[in-house]
Structure 1
């Protein structure tokens, strides 16, 4: 993809079809319930912040988060379409999220091991003492 300047925005009406298409185009499809539109709709509806990146109106990136706006923000999905990766869009989506929640809020995420280098290059620090209960489905 030619270097372009995406438009970043906090959106409240990203469609399930756009979200699904982006998850597939980003490579996250196998790790997300892309064949369950009801669940995808709930993921969008119940997020507190959805920051998007669009090029010519096309959704090429998304950061979907849940937060209390006071102490912590869980960045649940960070997806950039494979043809737009390498242009700083993922890093800017993180920064836009941080700006939106403010300086008193920690932004936290879980990463697959192969993406750890990207997050470290985005000035995120690994957390050695994180724990979780895996989803049953």
Structure 2
């Protein structure tokens, strides 16, 4: 399996919508909203199998204290291949050692994140979006 990782390349919204769907992630399906999500990311790591987008890791950061990993998606048939772990590693290298990497996990990924270096936290709070 030959996977190429790219930094800050913005894929087409339709490719990302397909990826989110095939990765089993509930995300917006409006191309305009996806385009804004990608455009406003501070760190965008993508994984490609030839010309096909097979993974994405989208992060927002202040570059000094914290970084929020807002999306990590890999095609379901490529999970357990190390793609997600590699995209996290590239992200961590890009944000530097001074930033804490945080995320909110979907329930189906609770077992995954400790395997790739995340600590489970019981001190997070959120206000849900209305749309």
Whether TM exceeds 0.5 here: the answer is yes
How far does the alpha carbon of each residue in 1:91-125 deviate from its partner, in whole angstroms, 9 at most, with x for none? 11111110111111111100022211100111100
Backbone CA RMSD of aligned residues? 1.0
1:33 aligns with 2:28: yes
Aligned to 2:19: 22
Counterpart CA distance in 2 for 1:75 and 1:111 is 10
Query: Residue 53 in 1 paired to residue 50 in 2?
Result: no
Alignment TM-score, normalising by the size of structure 2: 0.95
Say whether 1:64 aligns with 2:61: no
Secondary structure in structure 1 of the residue aligned to 2:130: coil
- Could you list the per-position Cα deviations for residues 51-74 of structure 1 after superposition, in whole angstroms to 9, with x for gaps in the alignment? 011111211000011111111110
Q: Which runs of 5+ in 2 are unaligned?
A: none
Change (3 A) 1:58 1:117: same
Q: Which consecutive segments of 4 or more residues in structure 1 shift more than 4 A?
A: none
User: Residue 10 of structure 2 contacts residue 44 of structure 2 at CA under 8 Å; is this kept in 1?
Assistant: no
- 1:118-129 superposed matches below 5 A: 118-129=112-123
Determine if the alignment matches structure 1 residue 8 to structure 2 residue 25: no
Cα drift, residue 6 of structure 1: 1.2
Residue pair 2:9, 2:46 contacting (<8 A) in 1 also: no
Contact 2:2 2:50 in 1 (8 A): no
Secondary structure (helix, strand or coil) at the match of 2:123 reads coil
